[in-house]
Chain A
């Protein structure tokens, strides 16, 4: 485990800012204690200082997870968010998409959101903007990337993709063994 380098921090913040914009500040500077990002086995973990100090008791080959896993760095040094980060993305999300109850299951099985399943969408969403997907009951289901801007969404046919799927809470079951 080690702190992120400047470069890694930048890569990660750039990815995070696609979903929560400048709200990252609220993650870095928290009134309820010191929280930090740490890299462990190419994964970025977000944890409090207290937990970090406890975790130092374990050797690195025995430590699987600590705090919340935000995502991982690929071999090409890109950052990929994991579904476990949803708890921190959802409250600060700037752009949201609500899916109709009928399309919920399809999304949770890893499919893209179609126009027919689109309930609501944040006004002024840009194309390729990172969005957090909610059910109509305001339960966060996952996140993805807007395939169409809000304006275009009104015009496209019902079978076209509106949000590209990136991660959904169904992964907690589907890829249980790889999530940390």
Chain B
């Protein structure tokens, strides 16, 4: 009894174990069609309606799905795998089943006004390149390349000098002169300069300023010296100034004379001159003024 029960129990446990860990090999009448790229398997075997009815809908479908999934997983295991961060990863092949896109295709953009016009006129866009083969540029690039190498190796390179050109401008000619002059064995030290020759422009002399906070007393001294020089300038003969001085002097004389007369008039009535003029008091005054006016006019004319 006990033995029997033990055998029974063992058999039962075995069966349960088998149920739990189902075999990885599944028998099918027809082989499944796989598209591993999409993780897709198609089972084309017939479904026995008797099984379906006997075992119950849910159970049957579940076991069928499990079997087919097992087959798919078997297929995946056949693929080359690699270990990536403690996880085995299979590389899926290209998918063979074409799936439809999720969203509808985009609508074509309505043509612009120009596109409409171009279509109407039959204008087609022509692509043209802006790149032109330039010999000078090539030479210059080569030169720069060599210069870069020289700089990297810390070798001193001479200046460019002048590149040949069909039409040289005035500046370039001036530069050519200075380059030619310094291209002697003595670097132009014994080279005579032409009459009226101008010194080369931008010959490397940089502007230099005094320090912001330097010697204040010497700065002051320099400014005072400058003022001294400015003050020493010989004054030019200023015609207007001379004329103005003259005019002012005459004005003053005239004013003084009038004052003198004005003081004397009420008392005596003009000694010599007044008498000779032979007029009355009023006349005398007017005559004097008129005379003054004439005199005043003269210096201006001169």
Contact (Cβ within 8 A) B209 A5? yes
Q: In the complex, what residues of A have CB within 8 A of residue B227's CB?
A: 13, 22, 24-25, 28
Task: Give the Cβ gap from B243 to chain A, nearest Cβ, in Å.
Answer: 9
**A2-B212, A34-B216, A49-B216 given as contacts; is B223 within 8 A of A28 (CB)?**
yes
Contact (Cβ within 8 A) A13 B226? yes
Task: Give the Cβ gap from A148 to chain B, nearest Cβ, in Å.
Answer: 10
Contact code string B195-239 (vs A, CB < 8 Å = 1, else 0): 000000000000001111110110110111011001100000010
Contact (Cβ within 8 A) B219 A151? no
In chain B between 172 and 196, which residues have their CB closer than 8 angstroms to a CB of chain A? none
Contact (Cβ within 8 A) B248 A3? no
Contact code string A36-67 (vs B, CB < 8 Å = 1, else 0): 10100000000001001100100000000000
| CB of B247 closer than 8 Å to a CB of A | yes
Task: Give the Cβ gap from A63 to chain B, nearest Cβ, in Å.
Answer: 12
Q: In the complex, what residues of B have CB within 8 A of residue A126's CB?
A: 238, 240-241, 244
Q: Indicate the size class of the contact surface on chain B.
A: 20 to 34
In chain A between 73 and 90, which residues have their CB closer than 8 angstroms to a CB of chain B? none
Contact (Cβ within 8 A) B210 A2? yes
Smallest Cβ-Cβ distance to A3: which chain B residue: B210
| CB of A111 closer than 8 Å to a CB of B | no
User: Given the complex of chains A and B, what is the CA–CA distance between A134 and B61 in angstroms?
Assistant: 112
Partner of B220, one of A34, A53, A56: A34
Q: In the complex, what residues of A have CB within 8 A of residue B220's CB?
A: 28-29, 34, 36
Task: Give the Cβ gap from A80 to chain B, nearest Cβ, in Å.
Answer: 19
Contact (Cβ within 8 A) A127 B240? yes
Contact (Cβ within 8 A) B244 A29? no
**A3-B219, A25-B224, A28-B223 given as contacts; is B230 within 8 A of A13 (CB)?**
yes
**A3-B212, A34-B216, A151-B247 given as contacts; is B223 within 8 A of A14 (CB)?**
no
Interchain residue pairs with CB less than 8 A apart (12): A2-B210, A3-B211, A3-B212, A17-B230, A24-B227, A28-B223, A28-B224, A34-B220, A53-B213, A124-B244, A127-B240, A149-B244
Instruction: Identify the 10 closest CB pairs spanning chains A and B, nearest first.
Output: A3-B210, A2-B209, A34-B216, A28-B223, A151-B244, A151-B247, A149-B244, A22-B231, A1-B212, A25-B227
- Given A14-B230, A24-B227, 5 new contacts (CB under 8 A): A3-B209, A6-B222, A10-B226, A124-B244, A127-B240
